[in-house]
Amino acid sequence: MDYKHLVEVLLFASPEPLTQARFNHIIQDENMVELAPIIDELSNEYETSGKGLIIKKIGGGFQILSHGDYHIYIERMFKNTRKLQLSRPALEALSIIAYRQPVSKAEVESIRGVECGSVVNTLMERELITVKGRGKTVGRPLLFGTTQIFLESFGLENTADLPKLKELSELMGDNPDPVLFENDHATE
Protein backbone atom coordinates (compact mmCIF):
# COMPACT_ATOMS: atom_id res chain seq x y z
CA MET A 1 0.00 0.00 0.00
CA ASP A 2 1.23 3.49 -0.87
CA TYR A 3 0.67 5.31 2.43
CA LYS A 4 1.67 8.68 0.96
CA HIS A 5 -1.22 8.59 -1.53
CA LEU A 6 -3.57 7.27 1.15
CA VAL A 7 -2.67 10.10 3.53
CA GLU A 8 -3.16 12.67 0.75
CA VAL A 9 -6.63 11.28 -0.03
CA LEU A 10 -7.58 11.20 3.65
CA LEU A 11 -6.40 14.79 4.14
CA PHE A 12 -8.43 15.87 1.11
CA ALA A 13 -11.60 14.05 2.20
CA SER A 14 -11.52 14.81 5.91
CA PRO A 15 -13.48 17.81 7.21
CA GLU A 16 -11.38 17.76 10.39
CA PRO A 17 -7.64 17.40 11.11
CA LEU A 18 -6.19 13.93 10.60
CA THR A 19 -4.53 12.77 13.82
CA GLN A 20 -2.15 9.85 14.32
CA ALA A 21 -4.80 8.00 16.36
CA ARG A 22 -7.45 8.49 13.70
CA PHE A 23 -5.03 7.42 10.97
CA ASN A 24 -4.18 4.24 12.94
CA HIS A 25 -7.88 3.49 13.34
CA ILE A 26 -8.50 3.98 9.60
CA ILE A 27 -5.63 1.85 8.30
CA GLN A 28 -6.01 -0.88 10.96
CA ASP A 29 -2.46 -2.01 10.28
CA GLU A 30 -0.60 -4.01 12.91
CA ASN A 31 2.64 -2.24 11.97
CA MET A 32 2.79 1.27 13.32
CA VAL A 33 2.87 3.73 10.41
CA GLU A 34 4.12 7.16 11.44
CA LEU A 35 1.99 9.96 10.00
CA ALA A 36 4.41 12.88 10.56
CA PRO A 37 7.14 11.76 8.09
CA ILE A 38 4.51 11.12 5.40
CA ILE A 39 3.05 14.58 6.01
CA ASP A 40 6.54 16.14 5.79
CA GLU A 41 7.18 14.43 2.44
CA LEU A 42 3.79 15.52 1.04
CA SER A 43 4.23 19.04 2.34
CA ASN A 44 7.66 19.31 0.72
CA GLU A 45 6.26 18.07 -2.59
CA TYR A 46 3.48 20.67 -2.44
CA GLU A 47 5.96 23.43 -1.66
CA THR A 48 8.55 22.54 -4.31
CA SER A 49 5.97 22.04 -7.07
CA GLY A 50 4.27 25.36 -6.29
CA LYS A 51 0.82 23.85 -5.71
CA GLY A 52 -2.03 25.96 -4.41
CA LEU A 53 -2.41 23.66 -1.43
CA ILE A 54 -0.49 23.39 1.82
CA ILE A 55 -0.62 21.02 4.78
CA LYS A 56 -0.82 22.60 8.23
CA LYS A 57 -0.67 21.16 11.74
CA ILE A 58 -3.99 22.05 13.35
CA GLY A 59 -5.64 20.79 16.53
CA GLY A 60 -3.23 17.92 17.12
CA GLY A 61 -3.55 16.67 13.54
CA PHE A 62 -2.98 17.74 9.97
CA GLN A 63 -5.23 19.39 7.46
CA ILE A 64 -4.89 20.24 3.78
CA LEU A 65 -5.66 23.90 3.11
CA SER A 66 -5.53 26.33 0.25
CA HIS A 67 -2.55 28.64 0.01
CA GLY A 68 -3.31 32.10 1.44
CA ASP A 69 -2.80 33.77 -1.95
CA TYR A 70 -5.97 32.08 -3.22
CA HIS A 71 -8.35 32.84 -0.34
CA ILE A 72 -9.87 35.86 -2.11
CA TYR A 73 -10.87 33.66 -5.05
CA ILE A 74 -12.36 30.97 -2.84
CA GLU A 75 -14.27 33.67 -0.98
CA ARG A 76 -15.68 34.96 -4.27
CA MET A 77 -16.68 31.46 -5.30
CA PHE A 78 -18.70 30.92 -2.12
CA LYS A 79 -19.85 34.51 -1.62
CA ASN A 80 -23.40 34.01 -2.88
CA THR A 81 -23.88 30.48 -1.65
CA ARG A 82 -25.99 30.07 1.42
CA LYS A 83 -27.92 27.28 2.98
CA LEU A 84 -31.34 26.90 1.43
CA GLN A 85 -33.96 27.45 4.11
CA LEU A 86 -37.60 27.58 3.11
CA SER A 87 -40.74 27.80 5.17
CA ARG A 88 -43.36 25.05 4.91
CA PRO A 89 -45.65 27.25 2.74
CA ALA A 90 -42.70 28.02 0.44
CA LEU A 91 -41.83 24.32 0.15
CA GLU A 92 -45.45 23.47 -0.57
CA ALA A 93 -45.70 26.10 -3.30
CA LEU A 94 -42.32 25.10 -4.74
CA SER A 95 -43.32 21.45 -4.93
CA ILE A 96 -46.58 22.33 -6.69
CA ILE A 97 -44.68 24.47 -9.18
CA ALA A 98 -42.01 21.79 -9.70
CA TYR A 99 -44.55 19.05 -10.43
CA ARG A 100 -47.16 21.05 -12.34
CA GLN A 101 -44.98 23.53 -14.26
CA PRO A 102 -45.72 25.69 -16.03
CA VAL A 103 -48.37 26.73 -13.51
CA SER A 104 -50.08 30.01 -12.62
CA LYS A 105 -50.16 31.55 -9.16
CA ALA A 106 -53.95 31.06 -9.14
CA GLU A 107 -53.48 27.31 -9.70
CA VAL A 108 -50.97 27.13 -6.85
CA GLU A 109 -53.39 29.03 -4.60
CA SER A 110 -56.25 26.74 -5.63
CA ILE A 111 -54.26 23.67 -4.64
CA ARG A 112 -52.88 25.14 -1.40
CA GLY A 113 -56.14 26.86 -0.48
CA VAL A 114 -54.44 30.10 0.55
CA GLU A 115 -53.03 33.23 -1.10
CA CYS A 116 -49.46 32.64 -2.32
CA GLY A 117 -48.24 36.02 -3.58
CA SER A 118 -45.53 36.54 -0.98
CA VAL A 119 -44.39 32.92 -1.19
CA VAL A 120 -44.08 33.13 -5.00
CA ASN A 121 -42.13 36.39 -4.61
CA THR A 122 -39.75 34.75 -2.13
CA LEU A 123 -39.17 31.81 -4.46
CA MET A 124 -38.47 34.21 -7.33
CA GLU A 125 -36.07 36.30 -5.18
CA ARG A 126 -34.14 33.13 -4.35
CA GLU A 127 -34.16 32.30 -8.06
CA LEU A 128 -35.77 28.90 -7.47
CA ILE A 129 -38.62 29.73 -9.87
CA THR A 130 -39.02 32.02 -12.85
CA VAL A 131 -41.70 33.16 -15.26
CA LYS A 132 -41.93 30.62 -18.09
CA GLY A 133 -44.62 32.37 -20.13
CA ARG A 134 -48.28 33.39 -20.07
CA GLY A 135 -51.36 31.24 -19.81
CA LYS A 136 -54.06 31.11 -22.47
CA THR A 137 -56.89 31.66 -19.99
CA VAL A 138 -58.64 34.93 -19.22
CA GLY A 139 -56.18 37.60 -18.12
CA ARG A 140 -53.25 35.63 -19.55
CA PRO A 141 -51.69 34.90 -16.12
CA LEU A 142 -47.97 34.45 -15.68
CA LEU A 143 -46.86 30.83 -15.64
CA PHE A 144 -44.08 29.75 -13.29
CA GLY A 145 -41.52 26.98 -13.51
CA THR A 146 -38.35 25.95 -11.76
CA THR A 147 -34.84 27.18 -12.57
CA GLN A 148 -31.34 25.76 -12.86
CA ILE A 149 -30.70 26.97 -9.29
CA PHE A 150 -33.66 24.83 -8.13
CA LEU A 151 -32.11 21.78 -9.80
CA GLU A 152 -28.70 22.50 -8.26
CA SER A 153 -30.19 23.15 -4.79
CA PHE A 154 -31.98 19.81 -4.76
CA GLY A 155 -29.28 17.82 -6.53
CA LEU A 156 -31.33 17.06 -9.64
CA GLU A 157 -30.18 16.87 -13.23
CA ASN A 158 -33.65 17.72 -14.53
CA THR A 159 -37.25 17.74 -13.28
CA ALA A 160 -37.75 14.17 -14.49
CA ASP A 161 -35.53 13.21 -11.52
CA LEU A 162 -38.19 14.40 -9.06
CA PRO A 163 -39.65 11.53 -7.01
CA LYS A 164 -42.69 9.84 -8.56
CA LEU A 165 -46.07 9.68 -6.82
CA LYS A 166 -45.53 6.08 -5.71
CA GLU A 167 -42.13 6.95 -4.23
CA LEU A 168 -43.62 9.87 -2.31
CA SER A 169 -46.47 7.71 -1.02
CA GLU A 170 -43.98 5.14 0.25
CA LEU A 171 -41.79 7.82 1.88
CA MET A 172 -44.71 9.61 3.49
CA GLY A 173 -46.45 6.43 4.55
CA ASP A 174 -49.76 7.71 3.21
CA ASN A 175 -51.37 9.01 0.06
CA PRO A 176 -50.44 12.55 -0.92
CA ASP A 177 -53.18 14.82 -2.20
CA PRO A 178 -53.96 13.51 -5.71
CA VAL A 179 -54.98 17.02 -6.86
CA LEU A 180 -51.34 18.09 -6.58
CA PHE A 181 -50.20 15.41 -8.95
CA GLU A 182 -52.99 15.09 -11.51
CA ASN A 183 -52.00 15.91 -15.07
CA ASP A 184 -48.29 15.99 -14.27
CA HIS A 185 -45.33 13.95 -15.33
CA ALA A 186 -45.02 12.40 -11.86
CA THR A 187 -48.22 10.38 -12.11
CA GLU A 188 -47.54 6.77 -13.00
User: How many folded domains does the chain comprise?
Assistant: 2
Res 186: pLDDT? 41
Q: Are residues 33 and 95 in the same domain?
A: no
Res 3: pLDDT? 92
**Secondary structure letter of residue 174 according to DSSP:** S
Res 170: pLDDT? 76
Q: Are residues 177 and 127 in the same domain?
A: yes
Q: From edge to edge, which strands make up the β-sheet containing 103-104?
A: 103-104, 142-146, 129-134
Average pLDDT on 88-102 reads 94
Res 81: pLDDT? 59
How far apart (Å, rounded) are the C-alpha atoms in residues 11 and 16?
9
Average pLDDT on 126-133 reads 95
> In Å, what is the CA distance from 164 to each residue of 44, 89, 107, 187?
52, 21, 21, 7
Q: 83 vs 188, which has greater pLDDT?
A: 83
188 domain-assigned: no
**Secondary structure letter of residue 160 according to DSSP:** G
H or E element, residue 108: helix 105-112
Task: Give the pLDDT confidence of 136-184 residue by residue, as tens digits.
Answer: 999 999 999 999 889 888 888 888 888 887 777 777 765 545 544 444 4
Q: Are residues 146 and 126 in the same domain?
A: yes
Q: Are residues 32 and 105 in the same domain?
A: no
> Is 185 a residue whose pLDDT tops 50?
no
Res 82: pLDDT? 62
Res 154: pLDDT? 83
Q: Is-contact 66 98, C-beta < 8 A?
A: no
Res 44: pLDDT? 95
Give the domain range for residue 168.
88-181
DSSP assignment of 36-103 equals: HHHHHHHHHHHHHHT-SEEEEEETTEEEEEE-GGGHHHHHHHHTT-------HHHHHHHHHHHHH-SE
Res 31: pLDDT? 80
Residue 158 φ/ψ region, left for φ over 0, alpha for ψ in the -120 to 50 degree band, beta for the rest: beta
- The chain-wide mean pLDDT, for the chain, equals 86
116 domain-assigned: yes
Q: How confident is the model at residue 9 (pLDDT cuts 50, 70, 90)?
A: very high
Average pLDDT on 19-42 reads 91
38 domain-assigned: yes
Task: Give the pLDDT confidence of 68-89 residue by residue, as tens digits.
Answer: 899 888 888 877 656 678 999 9
Q: Is-contact 104 143, C-beta < 8 A?
A: yes
**CATH classification of the domain holding 68:** 1.10.10.10
Q: Are residues 137 and 66 in the same domain?
A: no
83 domain-assigned: no
Q: Are residues 59 and 109 in the same domain?
A: no
End-of-domain residue from the set 31, 50, 77: 77
129 domain-assigned: yes
